[in-house]
Amino acid sequence: MVGTFRPRRLASAVLLGALALGLAACGGEYPNSTFNHNTDFNASTDALWDKLLLWGTVVFIGVEAALVYTIFRFRRRPGAPKPKQVHGNTALEITWTAIPAVILIFIAIPTVRTIFKTQAKAAPESLQVEVIGHQWWWEFRYPQYGITTANELYLPNGRTVNFQLKTVDVLHSFWIPQMGGKRDLISNKTNYLWFTPNKDLPSSAWNGFCAEFCGPSHANMKFRVYTVTPQEFDQWTAHQKQPAIFPAVAAAAPASASASVPPVPSGTGATPVLLASMQGATPAGPTDSVAAAPVPVWTFPRERLEKDFAYTIPTAKLPTTISFDESLLAAGDPERGRQTYGRSSCIGCHAIAGTPFNMANVGPNLTHLATRYTIAGGLYPNTAKHLAYWIKSAPHLKPGSLMPTLGKGLTDPVRKNVVTLGGLTDPEIADIVAYLQALK
Ligand code: HEC
Ligand SMILES: [Cu+2]
């Protein structure tokens, strides 16, 4: 069928579409919008945007008005004489060069000023955070506190934070739309980015992304940011800088805590202080720290999380190509899990501070894994079921995953080998999950 061209109908369709689009922009919540004043960084870029939009609108209206006027005023009329032929008009040409030049100066001054402002060195007393990009997850280190964590970033309101951005592999880009950025992570170079979350910012959760294509799981390289009060931040750091509580400290923990954790068998009964000194790490406190009450756990409260539109617990579906008998999870034993973990390949890639398994740095630091809400670059919620599937075969859950398949008898979709030697059975995985879930 040959369609007839109906310009009127086309015009009204375009108009309707534009109107719908325009209206859509007025409603709804935008968890990843940059148009806000949550930080000094976003406030300055937003102010700059307002200026550019204003000048852009003035120019647009002027140009379009002149165009429309010319089209109608000088349109061809029947019997009209040929228009006057001219070649060049110096005055006109100088004017239309000068006007844009002046406008560009108006745009350039605030732009350059904002660039210098946001590129300046951060205040020396600011919070230092090393951001290390990995395919496909984020490592966060707080050198002033001796904390290493992954994929979840805690920032105190009202304090300038200075990020030192590095990558261990390919290029990545660090971006928290609601806070400011984005800035690239470049191999063999450290980039810097700083901003100050507003003092009165709600204690909230925000999305973070990798904004530079970095391989098959680039889209699965997300992170979460929690803005908290300075007091909450102190509570969080006080706990996070402790070595893993399980298992040795559990013996000294209050009755309620020790009841749920089996006693440490003799023979492995090293105290955390002893283990920490074996690692050359700083022990939690004075040599009697075993007797001291453990520092209470503080994590971003779940109630606040679920209320928050900016943050949702991830809902990525588990693959159906592998299965795990979930009824085993209830019988998982943390102490058995600790032992299985200790003789598995895990220790070659992961660190758990305060244990003998504290040497590797290929994968995320697991010291306080159980205090995090997500795993695998914000892709899955941190639940027993997701951990079990993840350990069984991470590459089935996350394309390209650098953590290999570990479930006995499975074929690794990345490496194409069948897992035999060192492969884990489902009951063994259930034990490891119980151990990991005890790592508060
Ligand atoms: C060859 C290195 C390697 C081995 C061996 C390995 N992992 Fe991993 N693991 C990784 C990497 C890399 C990641 C991050 C993957 C990602 O998110 O893309 C990871 C992620 C994880 C996570 C999610 C952590 C988080 O915060 O996102 C857990 C839990 C985990 N591994 C547990 C284990 C356990 C338990 C074992 C042993 C049974 C193990 N891993 C063996 C490299 C390894
Ligand atoms: Cu990336």
Ligand 2 centre to CA of 140 (Å) is 14
Tokens of 181: 């950025």
How is 276-308 classified by DSSP, letter by letter?
HHHHTPPPSSSTTTTTSPPPPP----HHHHHH-
Ligand 1 centre to CA of 350 (Å) is 7
Q: Which of 167, 141, 164 is nearest to 152 (CA)?
A: 141
Task: Looking at the CA of 213, name the nearest ligand.
Answer: 2
Q: How would you classify residue 68: left for phi > 0, otherwise alpha for psi between -120 and 50, otherwise beta? A: alpha
Which stretches of the chain score pLDDT less than 70?
1-5, 23-28, 246-293, 309
Probe residue for ligand 1, chosen from 138, 341, 350 as the CB with the greatest number of ligand atoms within 8 Å:
350
Q: Indicate the Cα dihedral angle 190, 191, 196, 197, nearest 10°.
A: -90
Which ligand 1 atom is the nearest neighbour of the CA of 432? 35
Probe residue for ligand 1, chosen from 172, 349, 366, 383 as the CB with the greatest number of ligand atoms within 8 Å:
349
Counting every residue written for the chain, the total comes to: 440
- List of residues 6+ apart from 320 with CB closer than 8 A: none
The verdict on whether omega for the bond into residue 247 sits within 30 degrees of 0, i.e. cis, is: yes
CA-nearest residue for atom 38, ligand 1, is 346
Ligand 1 centre to CA of 182 (Å) is 27
Between CA 178 and CA 37 the distance in angstroms is 8
Neighbours of 69 (CB within 10 A): 10
Beta bridge partners of 149: 140
Which ligand 1 atom is the nearest neighbour of the CA of 406? 38
The pLDDT value recorded for residue 120 is: 76
Which ligand 1 atom is the nearest neighbour of the CA of 340? 38
Which ligand 1 atom is the nearest neighbour of the CA of 217? 18
Which ligand 1 atom is the nearest neighbour of the CA of 377? 17
CA-nearest residue for atom 11, ligand 1, is 363
Ligand 1 centre to CA of 253 (Å) is 28
Using a cut of 0.75, tell me whether the model's pTM lies above it. yes
Neighbours of 412 (CB within 10 A): 18
Tens of pLDDT, residue by residue over 79-104, are 888 888 888 899 999 998 999 899 88
* Residues flanking ligand 1, CB < 6 Å: 136-137, 150-151, 217, 341, 344-346, 348-350, 362-364, 366, 369, 372, 375-377, 387, 390-391, 398, 401-404, 406, 424, 432, 436
CB contact at 8 A, 146 and 129: no
Q: Which of 318, 299, 340 is nearest to 436 (CA)?
A: 340
Ligand 2 centre to CA of 224 (Å) is 15
Ligand 2 centre to CA of 309 (Å) is 24
Beta bridge partners of 224: 152, 207
CA-nearest residue for atom 29, ligand 1, is 387
The pLDDT value recorded for residue 12 is: 83
Neighbours of 216 (CB within 10 A): 14
The pLDDT value recorded for residue 275 is: 38
Which ligand 1 atom is the nearest neighbour of the CA of 348? 5
Ligand 2 centre to CA of 402 (Å) is 13
Ligand 1 centre to CA of 390 (Å) is 8
